[in-house]
Structure 1
Amino acid sequence: MDSTWQILHDNLGKALADTAYMVVVATVIGVVLGTLIALLLYVTENRLFTPHAGVNTVVGFIVNAIRSLPFLILMVVLIPLVQLLIGDPYTPTGGAISLSIAAVPFFARVAESAFSEVDPGLLEAAVSTGATIPQIIVGAVFPQALPSFIRGVVLTVISLIGYSAMVGTIGAGGIGDMAIQYGYNRYETGVLVAIVVILIALVQVIQWVGDWAARRVTH
């Protein structure tokens, strides 16, 4: 027990900080770029805007291709690219890059689904008033899709927390790295139990905050 407490005291803070860093960076990049891609897919598919089957098909194929790879395989495939970009892929920054690339197509589909839930009648009314596409997106699509959009962000964050644990399999830091190095390799069951409890509590809090925020903006 003393060994478990000592390991947690010496390593838990940095592990949580590394995980937070990776998840926050990946979430920001994933939400920003994913939203832009989702809008492109939404606009090129919806008949009320500027439908373009070619663009929609190509972008959709790329998104689906990246999403089809399990994160562990994607992370290994990206090691040469990350090494080219930052030199050492086995760092939290390297993990953040891999997580970001996984997050973009994931959130793109989530956001596209949220936009698709907007009432077509509302869009037709906006078009009939002569509103431009940017005005319709900002004034009609986003406000109506916001609850689902927020839930999508929460889903992405929770998924990234799980993915970040996989980053530990290559020694890139974070809570997963700590679980493998100390809990698994050193047979410290107490460390594994503590990490599991922390992750469960963290996900519950994030989900609660996300549900509360979604209810606040529901029309």
Structure 2
Amino acid sequence: MKSSWYESKEKAIAFRKRGHSLGAIQKRYGVPRSTLAGWLINVKLSAAQKRRLFENRMRALTKNRHKAAAWHRARKTASLREAEEAARKVLGNINTNDHDVLDIILAVLYLGEGFKNTVGTGLGNSDPLIVRTFLAVLRKNYRLETSHIRCELYLRADHDTEKVKHFWARELRLPMRNFRSVQVDARTRGSKTYAGYHGVCAIRCGNPTIQRKLLFLSRMCFEKIVREHAGS
């Protein structure tokens, strides 16, 4: 009994001899690839035909990669949008004017970024938003005065010291006189600093009482959460 595709065999062979790919032949005649492989096993392609098929495959791969990359970018964009909306919803339920809420936020921030092995309250970071948050809560909850704030900069060798000072003074809304110390890392000589990096700004306010309270608060907060939600 002849296959239902048998009448296409000669056409498929002729098409292959003209240098077309198995995929193109399958699409044209609707014959399964396994059947085509048997029909075309003895058809020899010229070097030029093989080269053209290879180039076509490479173009198709490049096109598919671009499509896949675009799909992944779109998916990531949608995912980021969803995450941002979810974060906004949570933030909408939090009263950031509440003294205790701000203290907990400050305590968690301090546990991660604050100075713990020195006497006195302080924090250092390269992100102005982190340092500004630290200052904002200290000013609101602890009435920290500008005159009690000491700023230290830790820079790379190719930084323009005065330029970076002005950057941090502008970002933190502090007068230049508060920036009392600049240390340059000699190990960075000869290497270029990436754009947008303004070193690390360390803020100290000298009050060890705040430091101790924040460290106790962060630990006690975590212990309370574990007791209530981790079954211990």
TM-score range, shorter chain: under 0.3
Q: TM-score, normalising length from structure 2?
A: 0.17
Structure number having the greater strand percentage:
2
- Bigger relative contact order, structure 1 or 2 (CA pairs below 8 A, ≥6 apart): 1
Which protein is bigger by CA-based radius of gyration? 2
